[in-house]
Amino acid sequence: MSRRVTVAGALALVAAALMALGACGSSDDEPEAEGARGGPLQGTWDLTRYASDGALRELPAGLTTEVTFAGDRVSGRAAINTYRGAFQADEAGGELSVGPLASTQIGGPPEALAAETDYLRALESAATFSSDGGTLTINDASGATVLTYDASDATIVGSWQVTGYNNGAEAVVSPVAGSEITAVFGEDLTLTGDSGVNSYRTTYAITPGSEGVTEISIAPPAGTRKAGPPELMEQEQRFLRALESAATFTIQADQLVLRDASDAIAVTLRQ
């Protein structure tokens, strides 16, 4: 989702792909690269410096912060808490406004919380931005740089543990105590895992959607047919329906969020 390429690199990739298709006679059904993006701002970025007390500072050791611009929504993980809000941008003119932002209220070490407060304040002060595809710089209304980021190399490929799923009644619930649900996204576009009682297997496809949102489609999973406690069997069916409903995804730090076509959370996972 969040790898980035320069314009020259993108053209080279397209040319190479066309040559490969011509050589091997592939069809138009080939999946597009996960890193495709819709504009210079869209995608996920890792914070490198933030404005604090009139100076640009690096985060305290051991802390990370990310931001994702997708469509007209901004979200991310600050030093401790997650945040979410709206933004407006003129990507051609480099104008940007962010917020207001809402965040969770988890406590943490004073140094981390102070950095988080300064970071969120800087993000809400955004007035302009510039990006070369590999770095992103955000300035305030006075023209001072308040945030700098590097392109994130986060990827959906890998092993994930489910932390929540939509139960079909407009609620995201945690797995039943003592049960474990997993998802393994393969580089070959296979998706396998354990749904609590049975194992399942299916395929997935990723395409760049409108306005830079990364879309995902997951085929109906096929599973083994072991029986288990009614509570776990019901959970399994609801999880698999939620998984199949996924339409978009975002990755922040070690968390993956799948959302359905209405932008409601379908499944949350941790790497």
Residue 268: per-residue pLDDT: 95
Euclidean distance between CA atoms 244 and 183, whole angstroms: 12
Whole-number Å distance between alpha carbons of 216 and 224:
24
Residue 69 · residue 87 · CB < 8 Å: yes
CA angle, 65 then 71 then 77, to 5°: 15
pTM beyond 0.85, yes or no: no
Give the Cα separation of 247 and 244 in Å (integer).
9
- pLDDT value at 97 more than 90: yes
Residue 97 in tokens: 């406004």
Q: What is the CA radius of gyration of the chain?
A: 20
Residue in 253, 77, 41 with CA at minimum distance from that of residue 155: 253
Q: Which residue has the tokens 């991310």?
A: 76
10 Å Cβ neighbour count for 34? Answer: 18
Range with the poorest average pLDDT among 21-25, 99-103, 235-239: 21-25
For the segment 34-63, the average pLDDT, to the nearest whole number, is: 81
Q: What is the pLDDT of residue 39?
A: 62
pLDDT in tens, 125-181: 999 999 988 899 999 999 999 999 998 877 888 999 999 999 998 899 999 999 999
- Using a 10 angstrom Cβ sphere, with 0-12 exposed, 13-18 middle and 19 or more buried, the burial of residue 33 is middle
Which domains, and CATH codes, for the chain? 7-151 (2.40.128.270), 158-270 (2.40.128.270)
C-alpha 152/C-alpha 248 separation (Å) is 18
Look at residues 20, 31, 25, 65 and name the one whose alpha carbon lies nearest to residue 45.
65
Mean pLDDT of the chain: 83
pLDDT at 38 over 80: no
Q: Name which of 30-34, 53-57, 60-64 the model is least confident about.
A: 30-34
Structure confidence by residue, pLDDT tens digits, 63-73? 889 898 877 88
Beta bridge partners, 130, equal: 137
